[in-house]
A and B are shown apart, each in its own frame.
Chain A
Amino acid sequence: MGNRSVSGFGIGLRPIHYGDFFNNPSDVDFVEIISENFMLDGGRAHAILAEVAEIVPVIPHGVSLSIGSSDDIDWDYLNRLKRLVRAINPPWVSDHLCWSRHHDLYMHNLLPVPQTPDVAVFISEKARIIQDYLEVPLLLENVSSYVTYTDSTMTEWDFLSEIVSTANCYILLDINNVVVSGYNHGFNPIDYITALPRDRVKQHHLAGYRVKDNFILDSHDNAVSDPVWELYRESIQFFDSIPVVLERDDSIPPWNELIHELTLAKKIYANATTPIN
């Protein structure tokens, strides 16, 4: 993997918590940032990032790579991402297995791709090009989704596994997204996580969702939901000790509340891995 090792439990660091982080850096083992917020030409984010990276490892997590887009790779975007990678020396970069750009128009959303063998080949080739260019491992995250396509002929877990195996890249397994999509599409989340190649899963996300009338919305605006904790507990049995990030993007709670939730994740992990005498 990359140059700087990461383990333990971290959070998605958002501007509202910069001050709390600098006051309590030992509350987290590492942080994840939204890559695009640090890929602009300048501004406060650049100065903050240098200080954060001095203290803990920082993982760039993007939302606009759009690897599933039929468009060509956005080389300006990738150049900027590479500059960010060089600046903070992360163990890996991550983004979503989705499309968010078409004919150069950014949709600012994580749209699922049809799960077919030819799309898997197409995305694998792009992933290999991107990973080679960035010179750092690429992790692809499973997205929450609300549609499945009539074209799809593969399960999402087979599709994801095929792509990362062919491209020799890795998986950021978002436990919340598996629960959300499992409900929306009618699959068993356990089937999903047990089918993934264990050695390819390098990071977890935990987050909260919102229940709507007849579907679940991946809202990232409240505490981690019970079914997500349950699936996380289960997933510990399948994957080695891998870093966990707690994500919150809306209705962001005070730092202490977030850290309390992170402590809960640590406890679940500790309980699941403590041998019973």
Chain B
Amino acid sequence: MPTPPRRLIDLQNWMTNAIIAETTLGSVEWITPSTQRGSDDRLSTYLRDFWPRCTDSLAEDFPRTAEILDAQWESTVKNYIRQLPTMGFSLYHLGDNFPNFLQSMGVSDLLVQLASMEKANVTAEISSIHSINTLSADTPLILQPHCTLVSIEFEVESLPKLVQTDPVPLIIFQSDYNPKIESLDPLEALFLNQFITPTCLSDAYDRMERSVSDDSMDTVAEFIDDWMSRATSKFWIMRKDPQ
């Protein structure tokens, strides 16, 4: 990698800070005025561009969260970008840390769940789907990248009001290139949660055995047999290292 000129680094340090902080301080040192515009006025064209691009892009990805935050949306986004700047080249990744940020801000759990659900929609839209091929009991498996498991405790029909309800486990995944949501029965949710980290089928079975009562163990075995027979059509789990 060639060495960047010192003045280039200094200029980009200054201009990045100016844009993020929305200040024209220092513009006279770096920017030549034109016959029609002063240095600060010229810089302001870029200052006006950055934040609307961020707030609009995130509002597209988190429409219900933005609707609920309403007047606080803009300041929330600004705090988020300033504290947890995203490093992705695509605006699709701008909200990668947004649910975690909301959680750290102490907003209601229900709002964090909603934001997680909306982030899962984006993930489903842009992620790849892998074929499963053959599986054995000791094959390390993992949830496919387009799938997100969430548990929500609000009524979707009542949005934008967040009305508390019993927890409902969901999976959000890609189907025909669109995000799709399905509710999961408790056993299936328990099973799929094993594969958030790489896990062999035999280990998943053992863990599930420990999680259910003795008289449900036959049910677990039957469930896993049945689920695995349909696994290739579900595209929800995959080998840890797809071939």
A119-B8, A215-B36 as given contacts; A36 in contact with B90, CB under 8 Å: yes
User: Which residue of chain A lies nearest to B89 when distances are taken between CB atoms in the complex?
Assistant: A64
Q: How many chain A residues touch the partner (CB < 8 A)? A: 51
Contacts of B1 in A (CB 8 A): 72-73, 126, 129
Contact mask for chain A residues 49-72; partner B; CB cutoff 8 A; 1 contact, 0 none: 000000000000000100001101
When the two chains form the complex, which single residue of A105, A122, A149, A214 contacts B4, counting CB atoms closer than 8 Å?
A122
Contacts of B127 in A (CB 8 A): 40-43
Contact present for B42 and A147 (CB under 8 Å): yes
Q: Is B16 an interface residue (CB 8 A)?
A: yes
Contacts of A37 in B (CB 8 A): 90
Q: Which of A96-104, A190-198, A238-246 contacts B (4 or more CB under 8 A)?
A: A96-104
Contact present for A103 and B8 (CB under 8 Å): no
Docked pose: A116 CA to B6 CA in angstroms: 12
Contact present for B5 and A106 (CB under 8 Å): no
Q: Is B9 an interface residue (CB 8 A)?
A: yes
A104-B87, A122-B2 as given contacts; A109 in contact with B8, CB under 8 Å: no
Contact present for A114 and B11 (CB under 8 Å): yes
Q: Is A107 an interface residue (CB 8 A)?
A: yes
Q: Is B224 an interface residue (CB 8 A)?
A: no
Within 8 A of A (CB), among B39-90: 39, 41-43, 45-46, 49-50, 53-54, 57, 85-90
Q: Is B145 an interface residue (CB 8 A)?
A: yes
When the two chains form the complex, which single residue of B8, B54, B89 contacts A77, counting CB atoms closer than 8 Å?
B89
Contact present for B12 and A150 (CB under 8 Å): no
Contacts of B7 in A (CB 8 A): 114, 116, 151
Distance from B144 Cβ to chain A, minimum over Cβ atoms (Å): 10
Q: Is B189 an interface residue (CB 8 A)?
A: no
User: Which residue of chain B lies nearest to A212 when distances are taken between CB atoms in the complex?
Assistant: B45
Contact present for B46 and A146 (CB under 8 Å): yes
Contact present for B42 and A108 (CB under 8 Å): no
Q: Is B126 an interface residue (CB 8 A)?
A: yes
Q: Is A276 an interface residue (CB 8 A)?
A: no
Contact present for B34 and A108 (CB under 8 Å): no
Distance from A119 Cβ to chain B, minimum over Cβ atoms (Å): 6
Contact present for B16 and A107 (CB under 8 Å): yes
Distance from A87 Cβ to chain B, minimum over Cβ atoms (Å): 13
Contact mask for chain B residues 121-147; partner A; CB cutoff 8 A; 1 contact, 0 none: 000011111000000000000000110
Contacts of B31 in A (CB 8 A): 147-150
When the two chains form the complex, which single residue of A47, A103, A146 contacts B16, counting CB atoms closer than 8 Å?
A103
Within 8 A of B (CB), among A112-168: 113-114, 116, 118-119, 121-122, 125-126, 129, 146-152
User: Which residue of chain B lies nearest to A64 when distances are taken between CB atoms in the complex?
Assistant: B89
Contacts of B57 in A (CB 8 A): 108
Contact mask for chain B residues 147-188; partner A; CB cutoff 8 A; 1 contact, 0 none: 000000000000000000000000000100100000000000
Contacts of A122 in B (CB 8 A): 2-5, 8
Q: Is B213 an interface residue (CB 8 A)?
A: no
Distance from A18 Cβ to chain B, minimum over Cβ atoms (Å): 12
Contact mask for chain B residues 24-42; partner A; CB cutoff 8 A; 1 contact, 0 none: 0000011110111101011
Q: Is A111 an interface residue (CB 8 A)?
A: yes
Docked pose: A15 CA to B157 CA in angstroms: 30
Q: Is A186 an interface residue (CB 8 A)?
A: yes
Contact present for A36 and B89 (CB under 8 Å): yes
When the two chains form the complex, which single residue of B30, B128, B174 contacts A150, counting CB atoms closer than 8 Å?
B30
Docked pose: A125 CA to B42 CA in angstroms: 30
Distance from A217 Cβ to chain B, minimum over Cβ atoms (Å): 7
Contact present for B46 and A109 (CB under 8 Å): yes
When the two chains form the complex, which single residue of A149, A184, A185, A186 contacts B11, counting CB atoms closer than 8 Å?
A149
Q: Is B92 an interface residue (CB 8 A)?
A: yes
When the two chains form the complex, which single residue of B16, B37, B126 contacts A42, counting CB atoms closer than 8 Å?
B126
Contact present for B90 and A44 (CB under 8 Å): no
Contact present for A186 and B126 (CB under 8 Å): no
Contacts of B92 in A (CB 8 A): 40
Q: Is B19 an interface residue (CB 8 A)?
A: yes
Contacts of B105 in A (CB 8 A): none
A186-B35, A214-B36 as given contacts; A42 in contact with B2, CB under 8 Å: no
6 contacts between A and B (CB under 8 A): A41-B127, A42-B146, A108-B57, A114-B8, A146-B46, A151-B30
Since A107-B50, A148-B32, A149-B30 are in contact, a sample of 16 more A-B pairs with Cβ atoms closer than 8 Å, ordered by chain A residue number, is: A40-B92, A41-B126, A43-B174, A46-B128, A47-B177, A64-B89, A70-B5, A103-B16, A107-B19, A108-B53, A114-B11, A118-B8, A148-B34, A150-B31, A185-B34, A215-B42
